[in-house]
Every structure is written in structure tokens, then in C-alpha cells.
Amino acid sequence: MNIGEKIRNAREDMDLSQNDMAKLIPMNQSNYSKIERSVQEPSLEQLKRICQILKLDPRYLLNLEQYEFLSSEDMQLLKDVKVLIKKHTIKTDR
């Protein structure tokens, strides 16, 4: 299951609409829909809010459950590296 599917399932379990989620994050509903459809990745801040609202562990969403032994600082480093890789990939694809 990808991140969008995990978010959608958790949202539906809480009986929230996409519009409700978008307002709580805050962001527009169209972009939120793209996250659930895995067309767009959430920013770190959006991911943080999604986890807070839906009471989800970010390790679950990012498929990092096997790294439970890592400290919060290590987890942050992994997230930062993911962002840097994505930024580098976008720049080199142009």
C-alpha cells in the first residue's frame, strides 16, 4: 500500500471528507486529492499535519516501520535526505 492509500484509508476510517482534511491541514482540496492519488507527495509540514490529524505514525506512512530502533534525530535525517534526493532529482531531470 502506498502513502496515498494509507492516508485515504485513515481519513475514511475517521469519517472525514477530502475537503475536511484540506481545511485542517490547511491546503486546497485539489492538491490534497493529488496526495491521496499519489500524484503529488506532501511537503514535510503537510505530512506532519496529516499525521497529527489522522493520528498516524510517520514511519508507517513512509514505510520505515522496520527502523523502530532509530532515534527521532535519525528519523529526521532520513526525511531530510529524502527531500534532498528529490530536489536533486528534479534539478537534474530538467
Which of 50, 79, 85, 52 is CA-nearest to residue 64?
79
Q: Which of the pair, 32 or 91, is modelled with greater confidence?
A: 32
Rounded to an integer, what distance in angstroms lies between the CA atom of residue 88 and that of residue 65? Answer: 26
Rounded to an integer, what distance in angstroms lies between the CA atom of residue 74 and that of residue 1? Answer: 24
Q: In this predicted structure, what is the pLDDT of residue 90?
A: 60
Question: Furthest-apart CA pair in the chain: how many Å?
Answer: 41
pLDDT digits (tens, 9 = 90+) for 38-68: 999 999 999 999 999 999 988 888 877 665 6
CATH number of 3-92: 1.10.260.40
- Tell me the domain boundaries of the chain: 3-92
Query: What pTM, to 2 d.p., does this model score?
Result: 0.68
Rounded to an integer, what distance in angstroms lies between the CA atom of residue 53 and that of residue 51? Answer: 6
Q: Which of the pair, 26 or 62, is modelled with greater confidence?
A: 26
